[in-house]
Amino acid sequence: MATAGKVIKCKAAVAWEAGKPLSIEEVEVAPPQAMEVRVKILYTALCHTDVYFWEAKGQTPVFPRILGHEAGGIVESVGEGVTELAPGDHVLPVFTGECKECAHCQSEESNMCDLLRINVDRGVMIGDGQSRFTIKGKPIFHFVGTSTFSEYTVIHVGCLAKINPEAPLDKVCIMSCGFCTGFGATVNVAKPKRGQTVAIFGLGAVGLAAMEGARISGASRIIGVDLNPAKWEQAKKFGCTDFVNPKDYSKPVQEVLIEMTNGGVDRAVECTGNINAMISAFECVHDGWGVAVLVGVPTKDDVFKTHPMNFLNEKTLKGTFFGNYKPRTDLPNVVEMYMRKELELEKFITHSVPFSQINTAFDLMLKGESIRCVMRMEE
């Protein structure tokens, strides 16, 4: 490419301070250094995690920053030492990585790479501790190693999954975070058997992806649990057969679910991050074989309290990170499932706007009106 090795000037949505609307600015994007790749982003979606770090209420504020991590793009140029990607390759950036060399990457059981696992406070590249973004020479911080709210971004090679170039990036971009997190929690961790009953706590994008996993696994009954009754109608498209709103009952929701299912659900997947929902999800599973999986991220002071008899009665509690997928190894195969029409992604994408209207995407999510809003970079 004629741009290789040179600084690229392009548009990016910059978060200057917590909770203030993003502003579209011209940024300078430096060339990729060793083991880095510069990617032209074609589509990026808004995930609740972007909103969470933009609000910066519960964590270290890092500003000015370019947010964004759920996206699809094309490699523009590669830095020294990058052999597995070349200009023109289609890629999904991922907020967590796979170096392929550490103990976690060598293990079949883990996807929690020592080198590249998510770091929400770091605003610079891992190689040299510098940012690749500047505005008039002043550095702008990165976000979870991806920063996809920019027409061009620089990402470590270990955080890019090379995918089938035939796959439509405006659809498969949602696989780079939300879809795989929920879907993998069900199919890779909860592993419901055909005909079993599955409860999903929290019916946002991740919960609905977990529900899609239950549907594909052949669950006979899928119970959605959410405090917002408006979520029920939407959830039916994802295989939801029953809906429970904890606010409608005077007793704990785990008791309601145990009664509904004659002893408890076979599998429960918790996608809210609310500590009480986590405890309910575990306690509502059937003794002897029930499995609960925690996906939602708790606040720092949360404590999980349950009676140890629940474990002695052979209920199992598990946790998961990014659906237990290894980004580089596994994501290309999930994209192929979509290409074979085994998965439906379209129903997750409720809105689509041009990149210049990124603040509309934030408004839709804050109002709870969107599952996923995909932004196209080309006007």
Report, as residue numbers or ranges, the catalytic residues. 47-49, 69-70, 99, 102, 105, 113, 117, 177, 372
The string over 41-71, giving b where at least 16 C-beta atoms fall within 10 Å of a residue's C-beta and e elsewhere, is bbbbbbbebbebbbebeeeeebbbbbbbbbb
CB atoms within 10 A of CB 135: 14
8 Å CB contact between 322 and 345: no
Tell me how far apart the alpha carbons of residues 343 and 186 are, in angstroms, rounded to a whole number.
14
Tell me how far apart the alpha carbons of residues 246 and 262 are, in angstroms, rounded to a whole number.
18
Q: Tokens for 274, please give them.
A: 């609310």
Pinpoint the alpha helices (H) of the chain: 48-55, 103-106, 169-172, 178-184, 205-216, 231-235, 253-260, 275-283, 309-312, 327-339, 358-366
* Residue 43, C-beta contacts closer than 8 angstroms, at least 6 positions apart: 71, 72, 73, 169, 170, 173, 374, 375, 376, 377
Q: Tokens for 200, please give them.
A: 């999903």
Q: Tokens for 207, please give them.
A: 């919960």
Q: Before 87, cis peptide (omega within 30)?
A: no
Nearest alpha carbon to residue 171 among 315, 303, 363, 352: 352
Tell me how far apart the alpha carbons of residues 24 and 135 are, in angstroms, rounded to a whole number.
12
Q: Tokens for 314, please give them.
A: 């052979």
Q: Tokens for 184, please give them.
A: 């993998």
Q: Give me Rg for the CA atoms of the chain.
A: 21
